[in-house]
A and B are shown apart, each in its own frame.
Chain A
Amino acid sequence: DGSQKIKLKLEIQNTILRLLLSSTMTLVSLAVVGKTNEPLFLKEFRDEHSMEDIPEAELFGLTTVTKGGTDGFSTPAKECSLRQQFILHAALDRFDELAGPPPGFGWRQEGATGTDAMWVGLLCPVDELRCYGYVTTTKIKLLAVVEDTSTAAPSSSNTTIHYQSQVMEGEVKQLLVKIHRLYVEHTLNPFNKVGDAKITSTRFDQGVSDCIGQFNRTV
């Protein structure tokens, strides 16, 4: 009972902390999707004091996978909850609309080059989550689902909200540029198969966790 009280106290403390920070964005999950929409890397970044405590696997009656699984398919699924996978999958459809059939690349402005041309922007909002997209010239897609807990009052003028969201988008874009760079370094490893194999490199995983940890702390 004592430990439950402590846990409750920690939860309350964390919620208060979150509310005190006027605008916080936390990256909830990240996906790297290949050319033909096959998942290469899926990861969720919920911190431990999150409100949603129901483990989805039990909810759906699926058995949890043991941590030491060598099967490349089971490990990513455990690290990214089903809800996130649904959201990412739905966002992918929107992605196809924007980036897929000709004329395609509808979001791009004239003459945009480099990372400006690769950044798609907000794909779709779901509840309190927003999904952003980024596609490379080799049709590798990066998706980031961000939880926006800003407490901007509803009566704020449109300009401040717009500015805030612009700043947020800029931050997410920078993050995805960094992830892109990590992906490039990953493909340069001669031992990794390029294209349609799952990313199992610890260096990539560590790099991604570091980037996102930094993002979640500073924004």
Chain B
Amino acid sequence: MSKSSAAANGHALWQKMPKANAELFALTYGTLVTELVRDYETTEEINEQLEKMGYSIGVRCVDEFLAKADQAGMTIPSCRAFGETAEVLAKTGFRMFLGISVEVQMISDSSFSLLIYENPLSLFVELPADPKWKDLHYSNLYCGILRGSLEQVNLKVECTFVKDVLRGDDVNEIRVELKEVLQDGAGEEYQEE
């Protein structure tokens, strides 16, 4: 799928999606994170919880993505290379759900980086100065979403935040690495003898 058509698709799908207030969205996510901060003690646990939540969002998102695209009459063909997956994710997926444009930087055949310039989740956020918050990945939800959605299309990936605007870098960077391509198959109970 060519880059420009991915972007065009993304834009068209974004127009059709129902919109929500950005401030409400950011504030809701903010209270979610502060609740987690109250419940868990270490930043690793908080990051893990955010990732798990993102995972359950991701497994549902991908169906919606493919269905909406189908309804809109655009076909999203199977990706022939991991790079195409990256393009579709960045230009169509993120664009459709969040309305932001995301850049792709290929690292190798099996890993790429997504560069997010404006993050709607962290609209008014500033991490407290305390050094223990240095390891908190505020938008770790994204990592979970990517992992969940790609797992549903048989790609097992690992996502981590490499750079974060809230910690002083100039851009948010998520590194996505392909671990394995899963085989389509029924579970053990349903295997034919």
Contact = CB atoms under 8 A, between A and B. Distances in A.
Contacts of B129: 200, 202
Most B CB contacts (10 A, CB to CB) among A185, A191, A200 go to A191
B71 interface: no
Contacts of A190: 27, 30-31, 33-34, 124-125
B128 interface: yes
A174 B124 CA distance: 22
A90 B75 CA distance: 70
Contacts of B23: 188
Given A188-B30, A190-B124, A191-B34, 16 more contacts: A185-B124, A188-B23, A188-B26, A188-B27, A188-B124, A189-B124, A190-B27, A190-B31, A190-B33, A191-B37, A191-B126, A191-B127, A192-B126, A200-B129, A201-B126, A203-B126
B137 to A, nearest CB: 14
B155 to A, nearest CB: 33
A202 B33 CA distance: 20
Interface string A195-210: 0000011110000000
Nearest to B37: A191
Contacts of A191: 30, 34, 37, 125-128
Interface of A: 185, 188-192, 200-203
Interface of B: 23, 26-27, 30-31, 33-34, 37, 123-129
State the 6 A-B residue pairs at the shortest beta-carbon distance, nearest first. Answer: A190-B30, A188-B124, A190-B34, A203-B126, A191-B128, A189-B124
Nearest to B33: A190
Contacts of A188: 23, 26-27, 30, 123-124
Contacts of B31: 190
A213 B72 CA distance: 53
A200 B23 CA distance: 23
A78 to B, nearest CB: 17
A190 B34 CA distance: 7
Most B CB contacts (10 A, CB to CB) among A188, A190, A191 go to A190
6 contacts: A188-B124, A190-B31, A190-B125, A191-B30, A200-B128, A200-B129
B188 to A, nearest CB: 44
A98 B66 CA distance: 62
B49 to A, nearest CB: 16
Nearest to A190: B30
A200 B128 CA distance: 9
Nearest to A184: B124
Contacts of B34: 190-191
A187 to B, nearest CB: 9
Nearest to A204: B126
A190 B138 CA distance: 11
Nearest to A191: B128
Most B CB contacts (10 A, CB to CB) among A185, A188, A201 go to A188
